[in-house]
């Protein structure tokens, strides 16, 4: 169960990888991250430049001059930055479950808004709503992307306890000291989601 938003250090890792590809400036990095997310997420403008300045202070990146764009602040990864990136690749590689918890957690909240009588959202006409139609569309998009990138989608019969047991750790629902209560409910494990991205000093 996660008690915060996106995995710590996510933006820093993305910035490092994008600078490894080629020198970039802050707004270009923002747009590239938006494209990577399929257009569904863009970090705030104020989160990327502090990271770039921190990288500069740490010696992981340096500013470069471009004659064709003299007023733009381009940053290039240094050798020290590539060494740091190697460490971040290992660190980020261990956060796959954190990502899953964020995705599943917010989906569970979406469904709760649609089905839990405690919530009474009122959508404007002809807008997205919290209901089964739009829930199905979200799931449909996930399946389409899975099949595009990984091949044919196959249902998994495991309960949360069984799946987590096979692939590391155990599933414990929020407020519970044991995952056994929901072992056979057939639902995916969720998590609490936070309202803001981790600060840029989270390396």
pLDDT tens profile 87-114: 999 999 999 988 988 999 999 999 999 9
Tell me: the pLDDT tens digits for 139-163? 999 999 999 999 999 999 999 889 9
Q: Is residue 107 part of a domain?
A: yes
Q: What pLDDT is recorded for position 4?
A: 62
Domain, as residue range, for 18? 10-93
- The CATH number of the domain holding residue 82 is 1.10.10.10
> pTM for this structure?
0.77
Which residues have C-beta within 8 Å of that of residue 69, sequence separation ≥ 6? Answer: none
Q: Is residue 199 part of a domain?
A: no
Q: What pLDDT is recorded for position 69?
A: 75
Structure tokens at 156: 């998994």
> Which domain-ending residue is among 65, 93, 121?
93
Range in 10-19, 74-83, 90-99 the model is least confident about: 90-99
Average pLDDT value for residue range 67-93? 92
Same domain, 82 and 121: no
Is the pLDDT higher at 145 or at 185? Answer: 145
Residue 192 banded pLDDT, cuts 50, 70, 90: very low
Same domain, 82 and 127: no
Percent of the chain with pLDDT over 70: 81
Q: What pLDDT is recorded for position 3?
A: 61
Q: What pLDDT is recorded for position 200?
A: 42
The count of domains in the chain is 2
> Which domain-ending residue is among 73, 93, 113?
93
> Which domain-ending residue is among 59, 74, 93?
93
Residue 178: left if φ>0, alpha if ψ -120 to 50, beta else—which one?
beta
Q: Is residue 198 part of a domain?
A: no
Say whether pLDDT at 126 is over 70. yes
Q: What pLDDT is recorded for position 79?
A: 97
């Amino acid at each position: 169960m996660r008690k915060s938003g996106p995995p710590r250090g996510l933006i820093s890792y993305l910035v490092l990888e994008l600078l490894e590809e080629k020198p970039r400036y802050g707004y270009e990095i923002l747009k590239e991250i938006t494209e990577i997310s399929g257009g569904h997420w863009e970090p705030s403008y104020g989160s990327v430049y502090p990271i770039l300045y921190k990288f500069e202070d740490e010696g992981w990146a340096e500013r470069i001059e471009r004659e064709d764009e003299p007023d733009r602040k381009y940053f290039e990864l240094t050798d020290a930055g590539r060494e740091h990136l190697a460490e971040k690749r290992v660190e980020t590689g261990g956060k796959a479950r954190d990502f899953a918890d964020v995705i599943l957690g917010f989906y569970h909240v979406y469904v709760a808004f649609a089905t839990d009588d405690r919530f009474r959202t009122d959508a404007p006409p002809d807008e997205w709503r919290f209901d089964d139609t739009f829930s199905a569309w979200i799931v449909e998009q996930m399946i389409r992307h899975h099949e595009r990138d990984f091949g044919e989608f196959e249902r998994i019969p495991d309960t949360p306890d069984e799946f987590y047991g096979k692939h590391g750790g155990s599933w414990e629902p929020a407020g519970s000291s044991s995952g056994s209560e929901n072992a056979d409910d057939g639902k995916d494990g969720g998590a609490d989601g936070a309202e803001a991205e981790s600060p840029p000093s989270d390396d």
